[in-house]
């Protein structure tokens, strides 16, 4: 008998039929004798429908009131799931984030969990009940309702797993797990059976969308095994754990693609100490976060500096960059939205030299020019032209033998 925290996302509870099917799955675990805490997101489109109501009043709603409004979505789901479990003959009880003492700071719409007081949950578990908790939400010490931002329900689940000392945290979603590459592009890409927290973190921040960075970070910090799997069938998904098996032998765990960035280049920058600091400090002040930065060492007294930002920040970033360029006596500022970042991720890279060289070689062989390079201890990223993105993903996936892992 284990204590399992399960989280069901919006697509898993999109309608009453799906809720009934989730209830059956939960009941199946209960029958096996497990203790269960189930975290649920809002029904399918609820959040969008509520936002439509708000936007018909104003484009800039108060974030406190937005949290008040949106948190109702999960409250509806948990009540319906409890009722569906009762109908199957199981004892279940639902709670809001506030009721189970998920205390957060007051950063509305993206609050951080400060602590969880799990007394009530433990009390109901002792009575043999299935405990259902509204994901994505908490409450401040001043009793204001907050929400946790993107991936908030995953975070609720992992945090509860930590507080309750659960044996396992299962994240149910609409995909089978984490794939070695996007299966919509690389058909033969395989689901990864086991992945380490670090690899998952790197993949998430490089574009894999299955799990948010925050939840994986919390899983890593408290060493909570996270099982990402589909609520649409019974197959095993991907286990995110501290040490994935055969870690040494596997060089590349996954390949990711991110087409959501724009490259900005400042030409003819005077090559003086402190000039890069000046540029990026100014950009940071506008709240634009810069991703990759490349500066070529120049033999002359001028150089080019390139960096990438997410597309939605591009216009803002170009505007401020042009202003800085003219102030420091640099040349033209060029914006290139037609780029893609292709990355390989794997703990094994640490002990396998030559991985970067192999990646560059693969791209060279298929005549794809590398515009920028960035490396971390367990990942290598290249910026290439967007039109080559899918081709590069397939070839790198195949040549590194990722599908054989």
- Site stretch for a copy of itself (CB under 8 A), options 12-20, 182-190, 256-264, 323-331: 12-20
- The contact mask relative to a copy of itself for 50-69 (x = CB under 8 A, - = no) is x--xx-xxx--xx-xxx-xx
Q: Rule CB under 8 A: is residue 37 a binding residue for a copy of itself?
A: no
Between CA 323 and CA 333 the distance in angstroms is 10
CA atoms of 349 and 178, how far apart (whole Å): 19
d(CA 361, CA 358): 5
How far is residue 33 from each of residues 3, 126, 198, measured CA to CA in Å? Answer: 9, 13, 33
Q: How far is the CB of 369 from a copy of itself (least distance, A)?
A: 50
Helices and strands, counts by H and E, the chain: 11, 20
Site stretch for a copy of itself (CB under 8 A), options 24-32, 90-98, 287-295, 351-359: 90-98
**Minimum distance between the CB of residue 82 and a copy of itself, rounded to whole angstroms?**
5
* Candidates 82-90, 151-159, 216-224, 314-322; binding stretch for a copy of itself (CB under 8 A): 82-90
Instruction: Identify which range of 79-87, 106-114, 260-268, 337-345 contacts a copy of itself by CB under 8 A.
Output: 79-87
- If the CB atoms of residues 61 and 331 are measured against a copy of itself, the closer one turns out to be 61
**Does 93 contact a copy of itself by CB under 8 A?**
yes
78 binds a copy of itself (CB under 8 A): yes
Residue 143 touching a copy of itself (CB under 8 A): yes
Number of residues that bind a copy of itself (CB under 8 A): 37
Measure CA 250 to chain center. Answer: 23
**Shortest CB 13 distance to a copy of itself, Å:** 11
Choose the binding region for a copy of itself from 27-35, 142-150, 151-159, 302-310 (rule: CB under 8 A). 142-150
Task: Assess 94 for contact with a copy of itself (CB under 8 A).
Answer: yes
The reply on whether position 322 binds a copy of itself by CB under 8 A is no
Q: Distances from the Cα of 288 to the Cαs of 249, 311, 326, 381, 404, in angstroms? A: 39, 11, 19, 21, 40
Question: Cβ closer to a copy of itself: 98 or 325?
Answer: 98
**Candidates 6-14, 87-95, 240-248, 387-395; binding stretch for a copy of itself (CB under 8 A):** 87-95
How crowded is residue 67: how many other Cβ atoms within 10 Å of its Cβ? 25
Residue corresponding to tokens 């990223």 = 381
* Burial zone of 95 (CB within 10 Å; 0-12 exposed, 13-18 middle, 19+ buried): buried
Does 130 contact a copy of itself by CB under 8 A? no
Element of type H or E holding 188: none
Q: How many CA atoms lie within 13 A of 47 on its CB side?
A: 20
251 forms part of the interface with a copy of itself (CB under 8 A)? no
How many angstroms separate the CA atoms of 104 and 112, rounded? 5
In SS3 terms, 348-372 reads as HHHHCCCHHHHHHHHHHHCCCCCCE
**Residue 287: DSSP 8-state:** T
Q: Name the residues that contact a copy of itself, by CB under 8 A.
A: 16, 19-20, 50, 53-54, 56-58, 61-62, 64-66, 68-69, 71-72, 75-76, 78-80, 82-84, 86-87, 93-94, 96, 98-99, 120, 143-145
């Amino acid at each position: 008998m284990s204590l399992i925290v399960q989280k069901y996302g919006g697509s898993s509870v999109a309608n009453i039929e799906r809720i009934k099917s989730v209830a059956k799955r939960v009941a199946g675990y209960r029958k096996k004798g497990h203790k269960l805490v189930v975290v649920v997101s809002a029904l399918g489109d609820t959040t969008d429908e509520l936002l439509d109501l708000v936007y018909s009043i104003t484009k800039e709603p108060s974030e406190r009131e937005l949290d008040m409004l949106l948190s109702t979505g999960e409250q509806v789901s948990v009540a319906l799931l409890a009722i569906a479990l009762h109908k199957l003959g199981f004892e279940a009880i639902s709670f809001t984030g506030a009721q189970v003492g998920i205390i957060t700071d007051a950063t509305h719409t993206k609050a951080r969990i400060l602590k969880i007081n799990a007394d009530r949950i433990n009390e109901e578990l002792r009575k043999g009940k299935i405990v259902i908790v509204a994901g994505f939400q908490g409450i401040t010490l001043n009793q204001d309702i907050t929400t946790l931002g993107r991936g908030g329900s995953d975070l609720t689940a992992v945090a509860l797993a930590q507080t309750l000392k659960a044996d396992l945290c299962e994240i149910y979603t609409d995909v089978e797990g984490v794939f070695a590459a996007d299966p919509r592009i690389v058909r033969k890409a395989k689901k990864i059976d086991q992945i380490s927290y670090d690899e998952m973190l790197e993949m998430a921040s490089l574009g894999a969308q299955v799990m948010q960075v925050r939840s994986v970070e919390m899983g890593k910090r408290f060493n909570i095994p996270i099982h990402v799997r589909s609520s649409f069938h019974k197959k095993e998904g991907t286990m995110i754990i501290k040490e994935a098996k055969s870690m040494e032998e596997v060089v590349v765990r996954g390949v990711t693609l991110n087409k959501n960035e724009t490259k900005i280049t400042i030409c003819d920058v005077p090559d003086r100490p402190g000039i890069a600091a000046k540029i990026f400090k100014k950009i940071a002040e506008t709240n634009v976060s810069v991703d990759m930065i490349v500066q070529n060492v120049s033999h002359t007294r001028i150089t080019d500096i390139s960096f990438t930002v997410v597309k939605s920040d591009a216009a803002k970033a170009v505007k401020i960059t042009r202003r800085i360029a003219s102030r420091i006596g640099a040349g033209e500022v060029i914006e290139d939205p037609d780029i893609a970042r292709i990355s390989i991720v794997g703990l094994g890279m640490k002990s396998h030299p030559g991985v970067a060289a192999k990646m560059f070689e693969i791209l060279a062989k298929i005549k794809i020019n590398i515009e920028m390079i960035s490396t971390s201890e367990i990942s290598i990223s290249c910026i290439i032209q967007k039109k080559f993105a899918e081709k590069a993903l397939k070839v790198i996936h195949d040549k590194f033998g990722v599908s054989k892992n």
